[in-house]
Amino acid sequence: MALLSYRSKPHCGGQGVYVRHLSRELVDLGHRVEVFSGQPYPDLDRDEITLTKVPSLDLYRDDDPFRTPAREEFRDWIDVLEFAHMKSGGFPEPLTFSLRVLRELRRRRRDFDVVHDNQVLGWGNLAIPRTGLPMVTSIHHPISVDRRIELEAAENGLARFGKRRFYSFVGMQARVARRVGPVLTVSGSSKFDIVRDFRVDPSDIEILPLGVDTSVFHPRGERVPGRIVAMASADAPIKGVDVLLRAVAKVATERDVHLVVVSRPREDGPTERLVRELALGDRVRFVSGISDDELGELLASAEIAVVPSRYEGFSLPAVEHMASGTPLVASRAGALPEVVGDAAPLVEPGDVEELAAVLLRLHDSPAERERVGAAGLERVLERYAWRAVAQATVDHYRAAIERRDYLRRAAAGRTSAR
């Protein structure tokens, strides 16, 4: 199978994590997998997995965002389109990746049995079935939700205009989603949002939760007193890091706590400014670029974990925290109640006071921390395993292939009847 992902950041962001674990389990089940990805490229866990790089102009690289490429970097009209789209304030990657990968799949259509799109939803996707390749599409959650939250957080009219332009690709994704065929999503909450925002027929959507790598995320012994850990994009309003920082600042006036956030905030961006405003310099640490084992150790070293998001379509970090046996506090937002069940206390998204109160209560009660941590670990072991996710995904691949073959037979029958 061809697994498509327009960007696949290895250790944060659901797309890269999904590609990494799903491809590994598919290969372990005996299938051949080729990953097609733009930058940043994924880390893949098996030598048998082929990574085919579909390079963009990499206009959003961490060390040089919104860069102007040198003239010799432009290879064709798609590169020109990508740069022009970015310069006009849009986000071109889903569109331009879909065009590039369509060109590649047309050339190699006999190499694959099925194509799995990991939330690209670009115009080029609509032409992939015309090559004869059946396709399955994963939508972790509709990006319309991110757009809505970013617009609400915008400080003025100019900022709102910029956000609307950046998220203009969402309209394309909605129209492609309605026409692309079978869709997999990760939760009932995400299915509802896809139907509401993208107007996809509910009968075309199947729910298939994500898994967790328990060889990395598991309890590891002693925990660091007062340590609170979160994994979230620091400057994205949807992730609620601002709420967590304010809550920790309140708790820190009464208790000896410190926060570790797995993320890299923008230099002098909103998160760094808020840390200075709250005088949290010695209470907050941001870490990034760490290995899987270091991440597993960090999560298992915390006394409390937090997912403070204003929305989540699923939340792999929530499952990874629970797999580490770390007592979790999560927002009552999106799919989080569905994912954590009764294994974590829930707070209203954006409510600093409620989050601070729950953090203080857990900090003061080792018995409650032990109970919540054990409940989370039990829930993970019962419900979330990548092997089961891969096996169920293969069933959807087979169904897509059978549907393609059925339509071919029906078309041939109509032709012969004439």
**Tens-of-pLDDT digits for all 418 residues of the chain?**
999 999 988 765 678 889 999 999 999 999 999 999 999 999 999 999 999 999 999 999 888 889 999 999 999 999 999 999 999 999 999 999 999 999 999 999 999 999 999 999 999 999 999 999 999 999 999 999 999 999 998 889 999 999 999 999 999 999 999 999 999 999 999 999 999 999 999 999 999 999 998 999 999 989 999 999 999 998 999 999 999 999 999 999 999 999 999 999 998 999 999 999 999 989 999 999 899 999 999 999 999 999 999 999 999 999 999 999 999 999 999 999 999 999 999 999 999 999 999 999 999 999 999 999 999 999 999 889 899 899 999 999 999 999 999 988 888 877 666 6
216 Cβ partners below 8 Å, 6+ apart?
292, 293, 295, 296
pLDDT of residue 417: 63
CB contact at 8 A, 37 and 59: no
- List Cβ<8 Å contacts ≥24 apart for 399-404: 399/182, 400/114, 400/134, 400/135, 400/136, 400/181, 400/182, 401/113, 401/114, 401/134, 403/134, 403/182, 404/129, 404/132, 404/134
Cβ-count burial of 143 within 10 angstroms (0-12 exposed, 13-18 middle, 19+ buried)?
Answer: buried
Pick from 182, 96, 93, 91: nearest CA to 139: 182
Determine which helix (DSSP H) or strand (DSSP E) holds 346, and give its type and residue range: strand 346-347
In this structure, which amino acid lies at residue 332? R
Q: What does the pLDDT read at residue 14? A: 73
406 within 8 A of 361, measured Cβ to Cβ: no
pLDDT, position 283:
96
Q: Answer positive or negative: Cα dihedral of 350, 356, 358, 359.
A: positive
Contact assessment for residue 99 and residue 122, using Cβ atoms and an 8 Å cutoff? yes
pLDDT of 13 reads: 61
Tell me which residue of 45, 16, 49, 6 sits closest to 316, measured CA to CA.
16
- What count of other Cβ atoms lies within 10 Å of the Cβ of residue 418? 4
Give all domains of the chain, ordered by start, each with its CATH number.
2-211+387-417 (3.40.50.2000), 227-383 (3.40.50.2000)
> Which residues 6+ apart lie within 8 Å of 74 measured at CB?
57, 80, 83
